Copies of this chain bind each other. A is one copy, B any other.
Amino acid sequence: MQPHGVVTPEPPYIAVIFTFRLDRKNLAEYEALLKEINAISADQDGFLGEEGLRLEDGRGLTISYWRNMEAVASWQRHAAHILAKKAGREKFYLSYSLRISEVTRESVFER
């Protein structure tokens, strides 16, 4: 998972909120696919960044940021994404929620 703290442009932009619980039986295979799929998604037009956390017990939360809805839709139609989604449902995730949202305001604090 990417380091924490993505620098995003002035809103509006899109946040895709993905909360999941992994099946720990297939973790090694999941990591390999994730690495591949992250390399491809990072290369998509309109991809702004991603941040997330994962706990040892398999729970995780990832947020990816995108320039606009077209960029999200285009990624969702990408063959690699479709295959990864299928594998995710069959083997890797016990459950997940995917939420697509438009960021309208952002504030940043640094001490």
Which residues in A have some Cβ–Cβ distance to B below 8 Å? 4-6, 8, 11, 15, 17, 19, 21, 23, 51-55, 59-61, 63, 89, 93-111
| A3: min CB distance to chain B, Å | 9
Q: Give the CA-CA distance A55 to B61 in the complex, in Å.
A: 12
Given known pairs A63-B61, A93-B109, the reply for A101 and B98 (CB within 8 Å) is no
Query: Which residues of B sit under 8 angstroms from A108, Cβ to Cβ?
Result: 95-98
Q: Give the CA-CA distance A96 to B105 in the complex, in Å.
A: 14
Query: Which residues of B sit under 8 angstroms from A96, Cβ to Cβ?
Result: 108-109
Query: Which residues of B sit under 8 angstroms from A4, Cβ to Cβ?
Result: 19, 21, 59, 61
Contact of A110 among B95, B98, B99, B102 (CB under 8 A): B95
- Could you tell me if A99 and B95 are in contact, using CB atoms closer than 8 angstroms? no
Query: Which residues of B sit under 8 angstroms from A61, Cβ to Cβ?
Result: 4, 51-53, 61, 63
